[in-house]
Amino acid sequence: MAIAATISLSVSPTTRHSAAAAFNPFRSSSSTTVSVSFSPALRITSLRSSIPFRNPSFRVSATSMSIQAPQQTSSTSFLDRRESGVLHFVKYHGLGNDFILVDNRGSTEPRISPEQAKKLCDRNFGIGADGVIFALPGTNDTDYTMRIFNSDGSEPEMCGNGVRCFARFIAELENLHGNHSFKVHTGAGLIVPEIQGDGKVRVDMGEPILKAADVPTGLPANKQEAVVKSELDVDGVTWNVTCVSMGNPHCVTFGTIENKLNLAEIGPKFEHHVMFPARTNTEFVQVCSPSHLKMRVWERGAGATLACGTGACATVVAAVLEGRAGRKCTVDLPGGPLEIEWREENNHIYMTGPAEVVFYGSVAL
């Protein structure tokens, strides 16, 4: 698969480097925007000099490599390109939960198939991401429609971190600045993200779904129609769980998050448990205080991720139902914190957090 990824690098003004190489372009104090061409088919080209990097060093090895200064290109003109057989994209992340964003406003069907999305999400042979998100035309009086394919090719109803990235992507596509909100149609219903003055995105996630049959879960309801602090046998071990849907299913369990918790081992056992006919996301949560929770997550269709927005929302709902926390909490995830509020007056949940550009790119399909 030929991939052209676009990023911004600060390097010393080298013009060519041949033979197998390993370098850190961020060590130089001088700044030159470069194009790095890899054999056989990988190109990294700068489009914007202000893209932030959380990991300021990396290594590249290649048998031959050329570095040259490209012509300046704006992100707008890049995203406006239309080439047959080429997919232009922008990679975003929300607290490390990363996505490939595709401008799909010209069609009601995604430009690529679930199988193609799975290949693009591969972190060794593709671009690398937790999912591919498509910005499609709105429907039912909404401004836009958001669809997402997970890294395993499945399609979830919604994604909390993804919808924040979606909002920032739309603002860039439409050249919007300052505070803006959008009505977004998703598989979980209407979602309303609002870009705030500080660049963060607050999202009205709607009301949580607690009725056991609608989560869905086969566990019997034990608190009105909800499953709250119910026993679940997972491979011979009993866990106390609370089940919540944010338009997608979540199973939340509280305890002490230990480093020895093996998500890769225990996560799939929850995800594919017979009590969750649509599979489930699973949150392992530690209560630090009534307003501070720590969470690790196994996402349905994506595995262990650095953050899960709907999972953070479900966690606060579960904590309130179990009497462990208040309705306004900071939820710490491996990728960083989210601010979650479950308002009593309208039963809606509000999530606030960042969404940032990683790089721009193109891939031959």
- Supply φ then ψ for residue 13, to 5 degrees: -75, 60
How far from 145 is each of 79, 119, 183, CA to CA, in Å?
A: 18, 23, 9
Q: What is d(CA 296, CA 95) in angstroms, rounded to the nearest whole number? A: 13
Indicate which residues carry an active-site annotation. Answer: 159, 308
Q: What is the SS3 assignment for 177?
A: coil
Q: Encode burial over 224-240: b for 16+ CB neighbours within 10 A, e otherwise.
A: eebbbbbebebeeeebe
Reported as half-sphere exposure (CB side, CA atoms, 13 A), residue 180 has a value of: 16
SS3 for 41-93 is CEEEECCCCCCCCCCCCCCCCCCEEEEECCCCCCHHHHHCCCCCCEEEEEEEE
Query: Structure tokens of 278?
Result: 């649509």
Alpha-carbon distance of 134 to 112, in angstroms, equals 9
104 backbone φψ class: left, alpha, beta (φ>0; ψ -120 to 50) = alpha
Alpha helices (runs of H) in 85-157, residue ranges in sequence order:
114-121
